[in-house]
């Protein structure tokens, strides 16, 4: 039982000794791979509060430092532990504008930096606590539109991904009249047209956008804005246009039918789920196919989960870099830093051959259609000149049979022309491909800079 009103100042200082970390876990594989519903389950509220009780007053909470938003898990976990869900939401929302997003898809940098991760490798469940607090807040209707007095200034935000939304939200709350221009037909950026529904249901984005609109933010869709023709009538601009260019693999055979950039599949699948129709010949669908995902990161993992749900025959994921160390500790990047250890996602658990140190040489095909990929096992050797490690071949090339390839090798960092002093860049457009939590933090920081610029 969780005491509802305890006098202890922060969490329960003994709970970490008696209450083990408990994750809600995923829906069973043989249930979840037949639909695109969210895979993660939820704990009941008593268990959730018990998990929150494990967050103690640890002196120097490294979670604050690790979270790019500067979220304060000890504060809201304490309120949650005490059963004050509304206070928990207020504390969480003080630093995080959209905890319903990060609570679902943040890799939880804070948990890796948790003191309980250092000692027991059983950190507090901040991310899950975060989404539980956010969902409770929406359910109980204390996430309400706030009306702010206008300050007479107007700002345009270009791009409605997490960075643009965070900047627009912050500026709106500071009294600016904000218009968001978005090239796509709906808001969300990669939240909507990248991250699969099984990680983030799109109704969660719709709910937030409705609130932002109610608070006075204007959204203009289907407008691709160029930096040399910014919309007129605004005193400042926030460019939050993300990383539009995916890294391609221009090797022999690239023109064959069946080779796609990851987002061609992921964005289309999310649009199909939103009710959009595509001609059969335009569908990027893995049904009945042997799929090869090139790129061992998170985008590749999302391709695997999507291919399973589309009914693929098999999935293999290859990566040119070596296999990361097995966790939980990474001697090269020790606590409280993010450990670069092997990550096995819910999509990997659903079935996938994973290989590392594999270079891709050539796409092979018949009658213009992909049939396989010639690959080469390699090794990385230290560079005697001290530069990047050297790639050396190991053994003979081999062929991986595939009739679909998904290229998930990251995105090019955008280059911007010299911009006027009233144009500010936020999110992935500024940093290169990163994380939602960093895009949110960047959007807020840029909004503060715009405010300072227009308040001179
Ligand atoms: C497949 C995939 C899965 C991911 N999974 C995760 C995850 O689980 N957790 C996590 O933290 N991060 C994840 N990320 C990374 C995360 O989605 C991004 O870091 C984040 O969305 C960046 O936010 P942003 O607002 O800077 O850019 P984006 O989300 O890319 O948004 C940019 C927006 O600008 C619009 N735009 C671009 N150019 C113009 C223009 N000229 N005019 C008007 N509009 C324009 C785009 O249409 C888009 O809506 C994932 C990324 C991918 C690709
Ligand atoms: S946003 Fe991510 S890093 Fe920050 S507190 Fe939430 S889960 Fe942790």
Each residue's pLDDT tens digit, 366-411: 999 999 999 999 999 999 999 999 999 999 999 999 999 999 999 9
What 8-state DSSP symbol labels residue 352? Answer: -
CB distance 269 to ligand 2 below 6 Å: no
**Above 60 in pLDDT, residue 130?**
yes
Predicted confidence (pLDDT) at residue 1 exceeds the cutoff of 70: no
Gap from CA of 292 to ligand 2 centroid (Å): 32
pTM: predicted TM-score of the whole model, two decimal places? 0.97
123-134 in b/e form (b: 16+ CB < 10 A) is bbbbbbbbbbbb
Look-up of token digits 């504060």:
75
- Which helix (H) or strand (E) is 164 found in, with range? helix 162-173
Task: Give the confidence band of 320 by pLDDT, cuts at 50, 70, 90.
Answer: very high
Residue 3 C-alpha to ligand 2 middle, in angstroms?
26
CA of 190 to the centre of ligand 1 (A): 4
pLDDT of 225 > 90? The answer is yes
Token digits of residue 379: 């090794």
Work out the pLDDT band at 4, boundaries 50, 70, 90. Answer: very low
Confidence of residue 3 (pLDDT cuts 50, 70, 90): very low
Kindly tell me if the per-residue pLDDT of 120 is higher than 90.
Answer: no
CA distance 261 to 264: 5
Which of 39, 157, 195, 415 gets mutated to test ligand 1 (max ligand atoms within 8 A of its CB)? 195
Rounded to the nearest whole angstrom, what is the distance from the C-alpha of residue 80 to the centroid of ligand 2?
16
Task: Give residue 406's pLDDT.
Answer: 98
At 58 the three-state DSSP class reads coil
Mean pLDDT of the chain: 96
pLDDT, average across residues 152-178? 98
Predicted confidence band of residue 10 (pLDDT cuts 50, 70, 90): low
Q: What is the pLDDT of residues 254-313, one digit of tens each?
A: 999 999 999 999 999 999 999 999 999 999 999 999 999 999 999 999 999 999 999 999
Domains of the chain by range and CATH? Answer: 15-25+32-139 (1.10.1060.10), 154-243+413-454 (3.50.50.60), 259-407 (3.50.50.60)
List all residues whose CB is within 6 A of at least one atom of ligand 1: 105-106, 158-164, 181-184, 189-191, 194-195, 199, 223-225, 240-242, 244, 266, 298-299, 302, 427-429, 433-437, 439
Helix axes 126-139 and 85-95, enclosed angle (nearest 10): 110
Provide the strand spans (E) within 62-196: 154-158, 177-182
| Cα 418 to middle of ligand 1, angstroms | 23
Residue 320 and residue 345 in contact, taking contact as beta carbons nearer than 8 Å: no
Q: How far is Cα 30 from Cα 350, in angstroms, rounded to an integer?
A: 9
């Amino acid at each position: 039982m969780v005491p509802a009103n305890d006098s202890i100042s922060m969490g329960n200082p003994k709970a970490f000794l008696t209450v083990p970390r408990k994750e809600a876990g995923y829906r069973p594989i043989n249930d979840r791979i037949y639909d695109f519903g969210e895979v993660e389950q939820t704990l009941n509220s008593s268990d959730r509060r018990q998990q929150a009780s494990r967050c103690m007053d640890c002196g120097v909470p490294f979670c604050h430092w690790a979270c790019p938003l500067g979220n304060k898990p000890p504060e809201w976990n304490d309120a949650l532990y005490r059963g004050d869900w509304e206070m928990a939401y207020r504390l969480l929302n003080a630093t995080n504008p959209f905890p319903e997003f990060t609570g679902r898809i943040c890799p939880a940098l804070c948990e890796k930096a948790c003191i309980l991760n250092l000692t027991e490798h059983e950190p507090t469940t901040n991310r899950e606590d975060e989404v539980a607090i956010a969902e409770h807040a929406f359910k109980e209707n204390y996430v309400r539109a706030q009306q702010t007095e206008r300050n007479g200034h107007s700002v345009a935000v270009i791009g409605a991904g997490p960075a643009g939304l965070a900047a627009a939200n912050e500026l709106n709350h500071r009294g600016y009249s904000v218009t968001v221009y978005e090239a796509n037909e709906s808001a969300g950026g990669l939240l909507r047209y990248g991250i699969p529904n099984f990680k983030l249901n799109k109704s969660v984005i719709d709910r937030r956008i409705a609130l932002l609109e109610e608070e006075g933010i204007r959204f203009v869709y289907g407008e691709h804005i160029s930096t040399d023709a910014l919309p007129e009538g605004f005193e400042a601009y926030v460019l939050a246009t993300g990383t539009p260019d995916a890294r391609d693999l221009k090797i022999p055979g690239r023109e064959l039918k069946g080779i796609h950039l990851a987002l061609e599949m992921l964005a289309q699948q999310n649009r199909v789920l939103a009710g959009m129709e595509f001609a059969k010949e335009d569908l990027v669908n893995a049904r009945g196919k042997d799929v090869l995902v090139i790129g061992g990161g998170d985008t590749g993992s999302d391709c695997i989960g999507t291919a399973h749900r589309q009914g693929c025959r098999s999935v293999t994921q290859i990566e040119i870099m070596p296999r990361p160390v097995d966790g939980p500790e990474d001697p090269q990047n020790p606590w409280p830093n993010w450990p670069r250890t092997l990550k096995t996602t819910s999509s990997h658990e659903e079935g996938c051959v994973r290989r590392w140190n594999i270079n891709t040489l050539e796409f092979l095909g018949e009658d213009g259609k992909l049939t396989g990929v010639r690959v080469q096992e390699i090794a990385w050797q230290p560079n005697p000149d001290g530069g990047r490690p050297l790639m050396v071949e190991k053994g003979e090339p081999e062929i991986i049979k595939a009739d679909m390839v998904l290229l998930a090798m990251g995105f090019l960092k955008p280059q911007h022309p010299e911009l006027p002093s009233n144009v500010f860049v936020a999110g992935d457009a500024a940093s290169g491909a990163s994380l939602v939590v960093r895009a949110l933090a960047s959007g807020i920081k840029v909004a503060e800079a715009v405010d300072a610029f227009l308040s001179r």
